[in-house]
Chain A
Amino acid sequence: MACSQRLSRKAIAWLIGAVLVLPLTASAEVPAPVIPKAKGEKCVEPTDVMRHKHMKFLLHHREETVRDGIRTKKFSLKECIACHNAPDKNGEVARIDTPEHFCSTCHMYAAVKIDCFECHADKPANTTYRHSLVEGSSPHHAGMKSEDKVLSSKTLEILTAKGDKE
């Protein structure tokens, strides 16, 4: 009786330890998304607004464009891609299925699947694709040159925030 009590107490202690340690090891292993630099100087809205609401802006703009023929450049997916996935010096651009792509770097990290690029072009017109050379070593962010592997507290706050700050 005493023996089994001691055993169960040991098991509970081990479990608590595991629960405490696991998230720490997990967070240390997942590299933070590296956000590629955009071509332009400034986005159409402040970064935190874009991070929270880009999907709403895109949804609203797509309705206006497809159904009413309004073709303003602000919030146009084509313009986002032209600026955020601009070709490098060799004229090559990242593909949507690699973490180097502006959209997939966060979407792969957050495991949020987007289907925009099943139809839309993931690169500006007249550019070639860049294939990732290192693949398969990590479920995401394979071959990514990550210098700063820890998320800043501000980025963490933005990524984990629930709901929108109106």
Chain B
Amino acid sequence: MSHQETDISRRQFLGQAAAAGLMIAPGVMLYKVAQARAPEMPASSSQRWGMLIDTSKCATGCNDCVTACQKENGWGGDNSNEIHSRPDQKAQWIRKVKLTDKQTGHVQSLPLMCQHCETPPCVDVCPTGASMKRADGIVLVDKHICIGCRYCMMACPYKARSFVHEELTGQKDNAPRGKGTVESCTMCVDRVDADGTPACVEACNSEGHKAMYFGDLNDPASEISKRLKDYGASEIRADLELNTGVRYQGI
């Protein structure tokens, strides 16, 4: 065998190895679990994006997920254009909620945002079709056709949606938002489409709290699915049978 031939076969071997997965040791292969969706491919119902929140790790007073969401999507904070709105009228995509057991005095803290229901009441009541659920389970407002009637805000059992009362300037290019439309957590849909993680989950993990997990609920190999299978988790207002995409452990 000539030297050149050896080189070619080596290249072919590496090419095949790269296509199948990464060989980390003889006989041990590391496969890429999830493949990023191509930009021209629509969101598919083969996936269902969800979140898992471990309330035992969510510290009272910690606001990292909320500030990360504000920074990512450009709502709230000191630079908000909402100067005339009352605090309860201002945008609130994600909020920290404190639960106190009156009997025992046990205090729990958790982030509450759009629960990305499988059967979302906000979509049921929307008169224009602006309130919608994507094929992969992310519930969104199509602000192009939202007329600002706020029926969805009344229908949502989680108080997850807000209405923009004032003219805004300096919006983020990844999160268009404006006066007269309803908005809520988008699960950072642009990041998810680019094979990323929502800003809140990323912040929670980078700060070392590790209270939030994001992943595909339809993929049994994903970390979120494994955790849900092994430890279980509850839905908030499970009695409404909305099959939420956001689940909570420890409540």
Interface residues of A (CB under 8 A from B): 62, 64, 66-73, 78, 81, 118-121, 123-125
The binding surface of chain B is classed by DSSP as loop
B43 sits at the interface (CB 8 A):
yes
Q: How far is the CA of A117 from the CA of B41 in the complex (A)?
A: 27
Q: Contact check, A70 vs B39: say whether CB atoms are below 8 A apart.
A: yes
Q: How far is the CB of A60 from chain B (nearest CB, A)?
A: 12
A68 touches B42 (CB 8 A): yes
8 interchain pairs, CB-CB under 8 A: A66-B140, A78-B173, A118-B168, A118-B178, A118-B179, A119-B177, A120-B171, A121-B176
Q: Does B172 contact A (CB under 8 A)?
A: yes
CB of A120 within 8 A of CB of B132, answer no
Q: Report, as a range, how many residues of chain B touch the other chain.
A: 20 to 34
- The 4 A-B pairs with the shortest beta carbon distances in the complex, nearest first, are A119-B178, A69-B43, A68-B42, A121-B173
Residues of B contacting A124 in the complex (Cβ-Cβ under 8 angstroms): 173
Q: Verify B40–A67 contact, CB threshold 8 A.
A: no
User: Closest CB of chain B to A56's CB: distance in Å?
Assistant: 14
- When the two chains form the complex, which single residue of A62, A69, A73 contacts B189, counting CB atoms closer than 8 Å? A69
B51 to chain A, nearest CB (A): 18
Q: Quick one: closest B residue to A73, CB to CB?
A: B39
Which residues in chain B, 117-141, are within 8 Å of chain A measured between CB atoms?
Answer: 132, 134-136, 140
**Could you tell me if B140 and A121 are in contact, using CB atoms closer than 8 angstroms?**
no
Additional A-B contact list (16), CB under 8 Å, known A68-B42, A120-B171: A66-B142, A68-B43, A68-B134, A69-B136, A69-B189, A70-B41, A72-B40, A118-B167, A118-B168, A119-B143, A119-B168, A121-B172, A123-B173, A124-B173, A125-B173, A125-B174
CA distance A21 to B173 in the complex (A): 47
Query: When A118-B178, A119-B177, A121-B176 are in contact, do A67 and B39 touch as well, CB less than 8 Å?
Result: no
- A14–B171 alpha-carbon span in the complex (Å): 54
Q: Check B42 against A120 for contact (C-beta < 8 Å).
A: no
Return chain A residues, CB-CB under 8 Å to B40. 70, 72
